[in-house]
Amino acid sequence: QGVARAGEALNGLLAEARAGQPIRMGAVEAGLGPILTAVREGGLARWLDTVWTHDDATYQHCLLVAGHAAQFSLHLGFRHEDQFRFVRAALIHDVGKARIPLEILNKPGRLTPDEMSVMRTHAAIGHEILVAGGERDPITLLAARHHHEMLDGSGYPDGLAEGQIGDIVRLLTICDIYAALTERRPYKPPMPMADAMAILSAMDGKLEARLVQSFGESLKAAG
């Protein structure tokens, strides 16, 4: 039920963004409580198993990231309000992908350099969509624009580094990369947790090692 309610909210948001219509964040917020409740009461594994039954790549990815964000925030002992804001940002961080051509967005396998350049516009586009829709929450806006920034300055779209990247964005980036590594696709099996965590750990300098370790602990705590 939590996946269904969150999915309905996410589908509506992406459809509005794809059609160039003003987005309605109130509908999204109605799906946030069920995510936290589902992960807290049913466990992360059950949430992921349900999400993986959906085929749409962007839909699946956003729900996976939201589930991992819920588990991470519970593990870190966030206040309920902060859990809510973090999961909210996680659920809609990729809204800009609604404006990426489907032949690029859903391409199986590696993108060409030109296709990758188009794909990388989604972060700035997502920020623009949210601002145009009246979004004011700084965490949500920063998450949409900066979730591909890296601590060494090698990320995009703004090439931020170190202290320019806030803690919540750092947490979300870890959830985002892990979800991308472990999600299921018709053309590739999901990567085992240990392998995905090894990749995250090897990104020391790009990701904050202390937070990567804590994320791994949150996964183990989830069983």
The residues annotated with a catalytic role in the active site are 97
Q: Is 134 left (phi over 0), alpha (psi -120 to 50) or beta?
A: left
Q: Report DSSP letters for 92-137, one per residue.
A: HTTGGGGGS-HHHHT-SSPPPHHHHHHHTTHHHHHHHHHHHTT---
9/26 Cα distance (integer angstroms)? 9
DSSP 21: P
The answer to whether 176 and 123 are in contact (CB under 8 A) is no
The answer to whether 44 and 67 are in contact (CB under 8 A) is yes
